[in-house]
Structure 1
Amino acid sequence: MDDFSGIDGFFGTRASLAMDLMVLVMALVTVALVWSVYQVKVRRRFGLHRRVQIPLGLGLLVAVVLFELDVRLNGWEERAAGVVGGEASGVVWTALAVHLVFAVFSVLLWPVVIVRAVRNFGSPPQPGGHSAWHRRWAPVAAVGMILTAVTSWVFYAVAFVG
């Protein structure tokens, strides 16, 4: 592997360890999110859904902060540079821009949905007055998070694979 800033990743691409870990984290978050939504929508296991969503949100927050620190300290462009003619291509920047739209949307909405649910559902959580708001915005937040994951994988592929 070339001599880049930061620690090389484990997928065998040009990406850093932090990039590879976020690819893995987003896969785990997506699976856990879909499973948790299934638990509440189909099986009506409200308490389990809460016990999954709160640590999932906190864990993702920690992962994103650590990832952003690594990106700020070590950058990413140098690692992506070799993909197209010595600098990150327009495709790479476009993929990043699309990803950031969903990522920023998700990082703003998901905590609102979680905090409002914690504050407005009882303990143990049961459907109530907050349910209509939650049924409207929680799916939007979940789809936003899944699109954040998918667009992060697209960015990763065009920037670091190959």
Structure 2
Amino acid sequence: MNDFSGIDGFLGTRASAAMDMMVLLMALVVAVLGWSVYQVRVGRRFRLHRSVQLALGIALLVAVVLFELDVRFNGWEERSAGVVGGSASTLVWSVLAIHLVFAVFSVLLWPVVIVRAVRNFGGSPHPGAHSAWHRRWARIAAIGMTMTAVSCWAFYWVAFVA
């Protein structure tokens, strides 16, 4: 057991339980996001895609709020400090900065894509006038979310594993 604030993680690193949960959740989000896009592109399952995206959006909102509360109350730097020699290194801060660029971009864009889709496709989603906009920006949002996950994993590695 570590003498850090917050609940110790379960993946065997110095990270907190909240960090461990987000690392795993981001893997799940990317997998479900890819599966959902496949369902609409190949299977033309528009309602399923809509339902999955709404569920992902709500789940991510709840997870990010809980995660941010944990980070604000318990921090992360002291857990990282022992790994990098007493204080968070320049590498850790640099990787975190890159992650935050993608995370903030995703947090701002994904709700816009979801809200516009709900408004323009309605309860019975099907291709229409909004489709071209949605394909373009949803693709950008999905890339942003994937890069958020990849940079999350990179930050986790340099801060709590390496």
TM range (shorter): over 0.9
Match of 1:60 in 2: 60
Match of 1:104 in 2: 104
**2:17 counterpart of 1:42:** no
**Secondary structure of 1:128's match?**
coil
Q: What is the CA deviation profile of residues 79-120 of structure 1, one whole-angstrom value per residue up to 9, with x for unaligned ones?
A: 000111201111100010000000000000000000000000
Match of 1:13 in 2: 13
Q: What is the CA deviation profile of residues 4-60 of structure 1, one whole-angstrom value per residue up to 9, with x for unaligned ones?
A: 000000001000000000011111111100000000111111111001000100100
The separation in 2 between residues aligned to 1:131 and 1:87, in whole angstroms, is: 48
Match of 2:133 in 1: 133
| Cα shift at 1:136 | 1.0
**Secondary structure of 2:128's match?**
coil
Unaligned runs of 5+ in 1: none
Identity value in percent: 76
The separation in 2 between residues aligned to 1:57 and 1:24, in whole angstroms, is: 16
The separation in 2 between residues aligned to 1:152 and 1:85, in whole angstroms, is: 21
Match of 2:25 in 1: 25
Kept in 1: contact 2:2–2:8 (CA 8 A):
no
| Cα shift at 1:123 | 2.5
The separation in 2 between residues aligned to 1:138 and 1:123, in whole angstroms, is: 18
**Secondary structure of 1:65's match?**
helix
Query: Counterpart amino acid of 1:101?
Result: V
The separation in 2 between residues aligned to 1:122 and 1:31, in whole angstroms, is: 25
The number of aligned residues is: 162
Deviation >6 Å, runs of 4+: none
